[in-house]
Structure 1
Amino acid sequence: MISKTCARRTAAALAAALAVSLAPADWCQAAPASPYTAAANQQVYSQLDFSDEREKEFAERGLIEAPKALEIKDAKGRVVWSQAAYSFLQNKAPATANPSLWRNAQNNHVCGLFEVMDGIYQVRGYDMSNITFVRGKTGWIVFDPLMTVECSQAAKALVEKHFGKRPVRAVIYSHSHVDHYGGVRGIVSEKDNVPIIAPEGFEEHAVSENVYAGAAMGRRASYQYGTLLDPGPEGRLSIGIGMGQSVGQISYLSPTVNIKRTGEKLKIDGVEMEFQLTPGTEAPAEMNTWFPQKNALWMAENCTGTLHNLYTLRGAEVRDGNKWSHYLMESLSRYGDKAQVVFQAHNWPHWGNAYIKEYITNTALIYQFIHDQSLLYLNRGMTENEIAHAIHLPPALEKVWYTRQYYGTVPHNAKAVYEKYMGWYDANPVNLNALPPAVSAKKYAEYLGDPQAVLEKARQDFAKGEYQWVAEITNQLVFADPKNQEARNLCADALEQLAYQAESGTWRNVYLSGAKELREGSKFDPSRTPPPSPDIRRKMDSSMMLDDLGIMLDTDKAHDLNFDVNLHLTDTGEKYLLKVRSGILLYQKGEEAKKPDAVWRMPKDGLFTLLSKDKEKQAKLIRQEGDKSLLNRFSDAITVTKAFFNIIEP
Structure 2
Amino acid sequence: MRHLNFVVAVASLVIALPSLAATQAKPATPHTQKANAAVLKELPFQDKQDFENAKRGFMAKPDVVTIKDAKGNVVWDLEQYKTYIADDKSAPDTVNPSLWRNAQLGMHHGLYQVTEGIYQIRGFDLTNITFIKGDKGWIVFDPLISPETAKAALDFINQEVGTRPVVAVVYSHSHIDHYGGATGLVSLDEVESGKVSIIAPEHFTEHAVSENVIAGNAMGRRAVYMYGALLPRNAKGGVNGGLGMTVSTGLAGLLLPTHEITKTGERLTIDGIDMVFQLTPGSEAPAEMNTWFPQAKALWMAENTTNTMHNILTLRGAQVRDALIWSSFLDETIDLWGDQAEVKFQSHHWPMWGNDKIIPYFKKQRDIYKFTHDQSVRLMNQGFTGEEISEMISLPKELEQSWSTRGYYGTLRHNSRAVYQRYMGWYNGNPANLNNLPPEAVAKKYVQFMGGEAEVIRKARASFDEGEYRWVAEVMKHAVFANPKSIDAKELLADALEQLGYQAESGPWRSVYLQGAYELRNGVPAAGGTQTATPDTIRAMTPEMLFDYLAVRLDAAKAEGKQFDIEIAFSDLDSLYTLTVENAVLHHSKRKVEQPDVKLVMSMKTMNSIQLKELSFDDAIASGEVKLTGDKALFTSFLGMLDDFNFWFNIVMP
- Which TM-score applies when normalising by structure 1? 0.94
Secondary structure class of the residue paired with 2:512: helix
Decide whether the 8 Å contact of 1:568 with 1:601 is kept in 2: yes
Give 2:11's aligned residue: none
* Deviation of 1:436 (Å): 1.9
**Conserved in 2, the CA contact under 8 Å of 1:601 and 1:622?**
yes
Alpha-carbon shift at residue 602 of structure 1 (Å): 1.9
Confirm or deny: 8 A CA contact 1:611 1:638 kept in the other structure.
no
Judge conservation of contact 1:247–1:531 (CA < 8 Å) in 2: no
Aligned to 2:122: 124
- On the 8 A contact 1:275/1:288 being kept in 2, the answer is yes
Work out the CA distance in 2 between the residues paired with 1:158 and 1:626. Answer: 58
Aligned residue for 1:144? 142
Question: Which residue number in structure 2 is paired with residue 575 of structure 1?
Answer: 576
Judged with a 3 Å threshold, the aligned counterparts in structure 2 of structure 1 residues 498 and 426 are, in CA distance, closer, same or farther, namely same
CA distance in 2: counterparts of 1:313 and 1:302, whole angstroms: 18
Who is 2:166 aligned against? 168
Read off the aligned partner of 1:450 and give its amino acid letter.
Answer: G
Deviation at 1:610, TM superposition (A): 7.3
2:91 aligned residue: 93
How far the C-alpha of 1:608 sits from its partner, in A, is: 4.7
- Mapped to 1, the partners of 2:255 and 2:631 lie a distance apart of 39
Question: 1:575: Cα distance to partner?
Answer: 1.1
1:190 corresponds in structure 2 to 188
Q: Aligned equivalents of 2:161 and 2:64: distance in 1?
A: 22
Give the letter for the 1:596 counterpart: P
Identity of aligned residues (%): 49
The separation in 1 between residues aligned to 2:526 and 2:199, in whole angstroms, is 37
Quote how far apart the aligned CAs of 1:116 are.
0.2
Q: Distance in 1 between matches of 2:626 and 2:553?
A: 19
Query: What's the CA shift for 1:607?
Result: 4.3
Mapping for residues 610-649 of structure 1, pairs under 5 Å: 614-617=616-619, 619-620=621-622, 621-649=625-653
Aligned twin of 1:359: 361
Distance of 2:526 and 2:264 partners within structure 1: 44
Please list the CA deviations of residues 528-573 of structure 1 after superposition, one character each: whole Å capped at 9, or x if unmatched.
x557411101110111111111111222222232102332111211
Alpha-carbon distance between aligned partners in 1 of 2:393 and 2:423, rounded to the nearest angstrom? 17
Counterpart of 1:107? 105
1:422, distance to aligned residue in structure 2 (A): 0.6
Shift of 1:445: 2.3
Counterpart of 1:32 in structure 2 is 27
2:291 aligns with one of 286, 289, 292: 289
- Deviation string 1:496-542 (CA, Å, 9 cap, x unpaired) is 11011110010000000000000010013326x55741110111011
Q: 1:201 aligns with which of 200, 203, 206?
A: 203
| 2:78 paired with 1:74 | no
Is the CA contact 2:58–2:111 (under 8 Å) kept in the aligned structure 1? yes
| Aligned partners of 2:407 and 2:505 also within 8 Å | yes
Q: Distance in 2 between matches of 1:348 and 1:478?
A: 43
TM-superposed CA distance for 1:2, in Å, is 9.8
- The one-letter code sitting in structure 2 at the alignment partner of 1:80 is V
Q: Which moved more, 1:633-642 or 1:377-386?
A: 633-642
| 1:41 correspondence with 2:39 | no
Counterpart CA distance in 2 for 1:123 and 1:231 is 23
DSSP 3-state at the match of 1:462: helix
- SS for the counterpart of 2:39 is helix
Give the structure 2 partner of residue 11 of structure 1.
none
Using the TM superposition, name which of 173-182 and 56-65 deviates more. Answer: 56-65
The correspondence for 2:56, drawn from 49, 55, 61, is: 61
State the alpha-carbon separation in 2 of the partners of residues 154 and 525 from structure 1: 28
Q: Residue 441 of structure 2 aligns with which residue? A: 439
Structure ranking higher on relative contact order (CA contacts 8 Å, 6+ apart): 2
Uncovered stretches (5+) of structure 1, i.e. residues with no partner: 7-27
CA distance in 1, matches of 2:36, 2:534: 41
Contact kept, 8 Å, 2:216 with 2:532, in 1: the verdict is no
Tell me the equivalent position of 1:468.
470
**What is the SS of the residue equivalent to 1:41?**
helix
Q: Deviation digits for residues 381-411 of structure 1, max 9, x if unmatched?
A: 0011001111111111100011111000001
Q: Aligned to 2:416, which of 405, 414, 422?
A: 414
1:513-524 correspondence runs (5 A): 513-524=515-526
2:483 counterpart of 1:487: no
Q: Contact between 2:20 and 2:230, CA under 8 Å: does it hold in 1?
A: no
| Greater alpha carbon shift after TM alignment, 169-178 vs 229-238 | 229-238
Q: In structure 1, the residue corresponding to 2:85 is in which secondary structure?
A: helix
In structure 2, the CA distance between the partners of 1:611 and 1:550, relative to structure 1 (3 Å rule), is farther
Consecutive unaligned residues in structure 2, runs of 5 or more: 1-17
Q: Please state whether the residue corresponding to 1:338 is helix, strand or coil.
A: coil
Partner of 1:12 in structure 2? none
Give distance in 1, aligned partners of 2:458 and 2:56.
54
Does the Cα contact within 8 Å between 1:2 and 1:29 map onto a contact in 2? no
Q: Are the equivalent residues in 1 in contact too, given 2:501–2:514 (CA < 8 A)?
A: yes
Deviation of residue 618 (structure 1)?
5.2
Aligned to 2:555: 554
How much does 1:452 deviate?
1.2
Q: Is the 8 A contact 2:220 2:532 kept in 1?
A: no
Contact 2:554 2:642 in 1 (8 A): yes
Determine if contact 2:233/2:239 at 8 Å carries over to the other structure: yes
Which amino acid letter does the alignment assign opposite residue 545 of structure 2? M
Contact 1:549 1:611 in 2 (8 A): no
The SS at the match of 1:488 is helix
Letter in 2 for 1:171: V
Structure 2 distance, partners of 1:456, 1:211, is 45
Identify the residue that residue 597 of structure 2 maps to in structure 1: 597
Number of matched pairs: 626
SS of aligned partner of 1:647: coil
User: SS of 1:146's equivalent?
Assistant: coil
Q: Note closer, same or farther for the CA distance 1:282–1:2 as it changes in structure 2 (3 Å cut).
A: closer
CA shift for structure 1 position 619: 2.9
Retained in 2: the 8 A contact 1:609–1:615? no
**Partner of 1:430: helix, strand, or coil?**
helix
Amino acid of the structure 1 residue aligned with 2:487? Q
Partner of 2:425: 423
Compared CA separation, residues 622 and 3, structure 1 to 2 (3 A): closer
Name the residue aligned to 1:17. none
Between the aligned partners of 2:158 and 2:648, the Cα distance in structure 1 is: 40
TM-score, scaled to structure 2: 0.93
Which residue identity is paired with 1:215? N
Asked if structure 1 preserves the Cα contact closer than 8 Å seen for 2:494 and 2:517, the reply is yes
